[in-house]
Amino acid sequence: MAQEEQALIREVVRSIDKKCTWETRPGEKGALEFTLRLPAGHASAMLSAEEIAAAADSGMAFYRLRERIKRLRKRIRDSRPPYMPWRLPKVEPIGAPGPRGGGGWASGPRR
């Protein structure tokens, strides 16, 4: 992978989250296998060489690539288990409501 492509991917990843680490490996048909890592996990995607080259030339393609990487980051963050599941409130069914007729003003004699 060329230095320019690595610098472009580094710029995109750093613009999203400075704590992310990433790596690329050669994939099928000139594509790159891109892996994004966070402390919560990792996710992979295939980036084509044409997509990376277009991102270097065009602002629209740059932000399209940025959005793909942001979706990877969101997939990692959303896949985490809930925080402290043992502290969730315990909800028990209370059954059907009974007849209404307590001692309110509406239950008294009519005038």
Q: Token pair for residue 7?
A: 């610098």
- Which of 59, 31, 68, 26 is CA-nearest to residue 46? 31
Question: Is the entire prediction scored with pTM above 0.85?
Answer: no
- Whose tokens are 């750093």? That residue is 14
- Delimit the domains of the chain by residue range: 3-79
Beta strands at 21-26 and 32-38: parallel, antiparallel or unpaired: antiparallel
Per-residue model confidence (pLDDT) at position 92: 81
Query: How distant, in Å, are the alpha carbons of 44, 67, 81, 104, 106 from that of 12?
Result: 15, 9, 27, 66, 67
pLDDT in tens, 66-98: 999 999 999 998 886 667 767 777 778 787 776
Number of H helices, E strands in the chain: 3, 3
pLDDT in tens, 1-13: 578 888 899 999 9
- CATH says 3-79 is which class? alpha beta
